Chain A
Amino acid sequence: MSDNRLLTDLHVSYIQGLDKKKESFEYWAGEHLRLNGVYWGLTSLHLLKHESALDSNEVIEYVLACRHSNGAFGGHTGHDAHLLYTLSAVQILCTLDALDRIDRDQTAKYVASLQQPDGSFAGDEYSEIDTRFSYCALSCLSLLGKLQAPFVDISKAVTFIHSCKNFDGGYGSVPGAESHSGQIFCCVGALAIVVFIFIVPKHEKTTNDTARAPQLSQNRLDLVETDRLAWWLAERQLKNGGLNGRPEKLEDVCYSWWVLSCLSILDRIHWINREKLVQFILNAQDTDTGGIADRPGDVSDVFHTLFGIAGLSLLGYPGLEPVDPRYCMPVKVLQRLGIPDQP
């Protein structure tokens, strides 16, 4: 247990220390997603307002070392190309204002090559389909400034995401799969990111049962069953204040992000008991080594550190950079890229 404040300095030194344990078995066990880890650590530092805590040049060189000749990125040097790590690479370079170090068209073409005829995205050339990859693709293209033809068929991408909507308003990894907070974030985030030219005749009704005037461009959050989904998401808060990812599961700090960001996008963040969640996240800090764990008493890791801090930022905890719920990146980075704020 902590004395219930955010132990910023301890978390900064925890993140700085992550790369020093290169010989440990745990380091090797996570090597396939090292690039994700760098994104989690770097973004944490930026949200904590300690942007210089890692050497930017070293980070950039590492990211470039993970690049393949087709513009895609692997999880670590020598690991195969995959969309998951391509997104992390682009996120890191955007945050460090180093996007000019890569050929944006080339990376965008790699992402485009993964879109399937039904609008879904594969993770790599081996065709695994998952709404996580729809999110990665659309977020990546958005950050690259290439969220349009010929790099993506937005209409089809949206159609596929919509087909993964379940009767409870939630979303799964593929059509018919169980609603899961992580997948819901991917779908709602994607629908919030896309910019779509949407013109509807006045007489046509949407799922929210209101007549729409002609629009120039907007996202596709109109496809979300807002109150029904917000209800499902608000139910994730347990009596101990923490959030779980699905009914009957334990609370976990990372859902402070997956659930909270959706509620923020849907403008229902007030449906969560803010104070209790803040206390839950703070209690999950490791007061000896720093970092945040999945729940109080467990060992911390950089994944839960980011999502705990990002959750606190969304909840307005003082001293943190504002985070964009669609991208899980500092708002000011997206402003620099010219991406409009979420409405």
Chain B
Amino acid sequence: MEAYALFVQTIASHPISTLTDFGFTPPVDSADESVIVVEGNLGIAANHIEPLWRHAHALYFGATNTLDKENSSILLLLFNPELYSAWNVRKTLLKTGAVSLSNELALVSLVLSKHPKRPAAWAHRAWLLPQLVSTTLPEHIDAFYAGELEVCRKAALRHRMNYHAWTYRWKVVRNASLQFKLFAFQEAKAYISSHISEHSAFAHALAILESIKNEKNQPQPDTVKALFYSELNETMCLIARYPGHKSPWCYLQGLFLITNEPESCETDSLSLDDLRFEDSWFDRVLASREDGRLFSDVDVLDWLKVWIAESTWEETMLSRRLLAFSTWIIAASRVVSASHTEEAPIMWKNQIEAALDFQLYLLQGRTGSEDLRLHVKGLIEREGTCPAFLLMTP
């Protein structure tokens, strides 16, 4: 049987909703084996891609009957999800009832299994979303949304920093209940815990946090405040645990920015003391060091927990707290670097650079902090490897 006819027969006998994955398989000699389904996985032989495409393309652009349009568009979109005209034809087919909403959703999922970051596929799903929401019973809506988060998670796993997956995820969450937003927030944090450089996940978590903070009907404002402060502590620990990674620093920056703390307080302005840390604090850990032992990120995390436990943060201005933390990180990084007799791993230098960048950023535009900015710029200059533009900032 010719390959295209086999394809049509295959999708007729295997409803799209039963197909979970699509991919290309090794070349086969006979067209009879060019399209297969194994446990929900649809496979097309690599040496039949081009003839199948040509046939489907000619049929699609020449077809007048619905079935030909439907079948050929499925094949074309599995090969090239950016063929937006084919998605548009399917929108028309949906309107006439030739295809169903749930099957269309399944088709997008199937396409995304092979092409996790194609914008036209995500745009089609976003177009389906309001229709799906309106046909879902209120008591089932959170379960539906959770299913959508799972589709996004799979796509995120297939391609790091998948902008369209995370943006679609936001389109799902932004209209959900407060309860679901809190669930989605915890899901994002869970993803972060095993993907430290997934900046998109951090940005997504911040967007949800800001949305929760701005929620008009706050049943428990203390919950939000507690959530926020636990985020601060967790992020500090992430920074200690993964030296030199930019994402947790960006997240800390975001946490600072969304609190909208007043820029300067008359009675509680920052001073150079906020940028100093008593090196003697580290003497006790150095005293306990066995000869020849190098320090690592695990040690820094242990020291951080001690330091946080000793500090009294509750009524402290957020910027003072963050300056103190970043100063502490610089000091701790220097202690670790010094414990190496040969050159320390580059990540400690990167960590110090990230901390200085963070400090200067925090102080930007803050009246009465010119001396602090000058001090940090002096440290940046001494490091020698930070981006030059930092010294050009006002």
Name A residues whose Cβ lies closer than 8 Å to a Cβ of B. Answer: 25, 28-29, 32-33, 74-75, 78-80, 82, 123-124, 126-128, 167-168, 172-174, 176-180, 227-228, 231, 234-235, 237, 246-249, 270-273
Contacts and interface: CB of A to CB of B under 8 A. Distances in A.
Nearest to A180: B163
Nearest to A239: B385
B71 interface: no
Contacts of B80: 29, 32
Nearest to B246: A247
A235 B387 CA distance: 8
B170 interface: yes
B204 interface: yes
Contact of B167 (A25, A75, A173): A173
A256 to B, nearest CB: 16
Interface in B68-96: 79-80, 82-85, 88, 91
Contacts of B257: 167-168
Contacts of A231: 361, 364, 389, 393
- Listed from nearest, the 5 A-B pairs whose CB atoms lie closest are A271-B389, A167-B257, A178-B203, A234-B389, A80-B85
Interface in B176-230: 197-200, 203-204, 206-207, 210-211
Contacts of A234: 387, 389
A270 B393 CA distance: 11
A248 B246 CA distance: 7
Interface in B18-58: 49-50, 53, 57
Nearest to A238: B387
Contacts of B167: 172-174, 177-178
Interface of A is mostly: loop
A247 B79 CA distance: 31
B123 interface: yes
Contacts of A124: 88
Interface stretch (B247-255, B269-277, B290-298, B300-308): B247-255
B197 A248 contact: yes
B365 A227 contact: yes
A126 B247 contact: no
B61 interface: yes
A248 B61 contact: no
27 contacts: A25-B49, A32-B82, A74-B85, A80-B84, A80-B85, A80-B88, A124-B88, A127-B127, A167-B254, A168-B257, A174-B170, A176-B174, A176-B207, A176-B211, A178-B167, A180-B163, A227-B365, A227-B394, A231-B393, A246-B200, A247-B246, A247-B247, A247-B250, A248-B199, A248-B245, A270-B392, A273-B387
A234 B170 CA distance: 27
Contacts of B199: 178, 246-249
A33 B207 CA distance: 32
B388 interface: yes
B258 interface: yes
B141 interface: no
B171 interface: yes
